[in-house]
A and B are shown apart, each in its own frame.
Chain A
Amino acid sequence: MGMPIEITIEDYKNTKIFNEVFNFFKYVDQKFSTYKTSSEVSIFNQGKIKLKDTSDDFKKIYKLCQKSIKYTFGFFNPSNKGYYDPSGLVKGWAINEASNIIKKSGSKIYYINAGGDVQTSGKLWKIGIKNPFKQTENIKIINIKDSGLATSGNYERGMHIYNPQNNFKKADDIASITVIAKDVYLADIYSTAAFAIGLKGINLIEMTKGLEGYQIDKSGIATETSGFSKYLCLN
């Protein structure tokens, strides 16, 4: 996955838990990183291994991807330039699994932050949503407890990058969308799908029960779902 991972456990029983969780993320990276030519995903994409011969976790992710395509009507799609790329789902799944590892160790008050996708537990944690145009800045502060949060966006593009010749891209592009769900696995899939939809992505979040969202368009205007404001309060 190639991203920074931050784990905070307030009520840890033993420092071993941190190594256990980091090792799990290393395992996920080695298996699913599209940047590593030796990963199982890369080998699969190179045609060197058939689906039936892949590992259990690889098959599990593959099946989860198929389900996700269905319930997001293909807006979530594990594909990148014609190759299988489940990254949009793997990250949330991995955080969810790591969260279960921590829970099993007996801790309750923690958060996991893997590249901006977050799972919180046990108490209210204060989260800042980055300004997609100025990454040293937060433009929204929210408080979440026992929920997951994921942000999809593309920071490669600045505020004025759209092709006037391509009306489709101009009309529909957004800078980022943040989704809050009961668990980060769902937040990840839906933020990925909503980003793929573009300007109407926030509609998908508004219309799906159990999700709230905060979308920022290319001109710096944010649109929030009707229940989003509950995360601005400290209770």
Chain B
Amino acid sequence: MNNQKKYILSGLVLVSFVGYAFFIRHQENEADESRVIAPKISATNLPTMMRGNNMMSNKQYKNGVYISSVTDAIYGPLQIEVTISDGKISGVKFLKYPNDRDRSIQINTQAMPYLKQEAIAAQIAKVDIVSGATQTSLAFREAMTSVLLQAK
């Protein structure tokens, strides 16, 4: 092989190696603990609602990174990865999503920076209808049932 080709090949190997190393480091930053691939969720191990049992206690869940199976979110496939640290949900990542957007989307644990943001400000135009929340149960915040069943 002549010298030119050698340099190009070395360059390619170097770039690939750097890219791979960066990927691995990136992955490590997402998870505090060892990676655990959870079993697929089938219809038989869907959560059941238990009367009178305290489903919503301050349970501690096993630390780790849990991946759900791919599920039909009505409009397309959805799959999430949940990180448990200190027994609590510390991160949520969407691995698969219905793709009806023009651009491909990478989601991490931060609010997506490219979504338009604004400070709210009073609007004084007349409206037909007003929409606002009524009291919503705080208990909903704790719910990650299907994935957390794996983390018990």
Q: Which residues of A contact B (CB under 8 A)?
A: 3, 6, 8, 44-45, 47, 62, 65-66, 69-85, 87-88, 111, 113, 115-118, 120, 125-132, 134-135, 137-141, 149-156, 168, 176, 178, 186, 192-193, 195-200, 202-204, 206-211, 216, 220-226, 228-229
Contact = CB atoms under 8 A, between A and B. Distances in A.
B137 A87 contact: yes
A222 B118 CA distance: 5
A207 B105 contact: yes
Interface in B71-115: 71-76, 78, 80, 88-90, 92, 94, 97-98, 100-101, 105, 107, 109, 111-112, 115
Given A127-B131, A128-B129, A209-B76, A222 B119 contact: yes
A139 B123 contact: yes
A220 B131 CA distance: 17
A117 B127 contact: no
Contacts of B51: 44-45, 47, 83-84
Contacts, number: 244
A148 B111 CA distance: 25
B120 interface: yes
B111 A223 contact: yes
A47 B88 CA distance: 31
A153 B125 CA distance: 23
Chain B, interface size category, equals 35 or more
B134 interface: yes
Given A73-B80, A203-B112, A186 B74 contact: yes
A38 B113 CA distance: 48
Interface stretch (B8-16, B25-33, B139-147): B139-147
Contact of B146 (A70, A78, A138, A198): A70
Contact of B75 (A80, A203, A208): A208
A139 B120 contact: yes
Interface of B: 41, 46-49, 51-57, 68, 71-76, 78, 80, 88-90, 92, 94, 97-98, 100-101, 105, 107, 109, 111-112, 115-148
Given A128-B123, A207-B98, A75 B144 contact: yes
Given A74-B148, A129-B130, A202-B111, 12 more contacts: A45-B52, A75-B143, A84-B51, A88-B140, A131-B122, A135-B132, A138-B123, A139-B120, A154-B135, A168-B89, A196-B143, A206-B115
B136 A79 contact: no
B133 A154 contact: yes
A207 B49 contact: no
Contacts of B105: 206-207
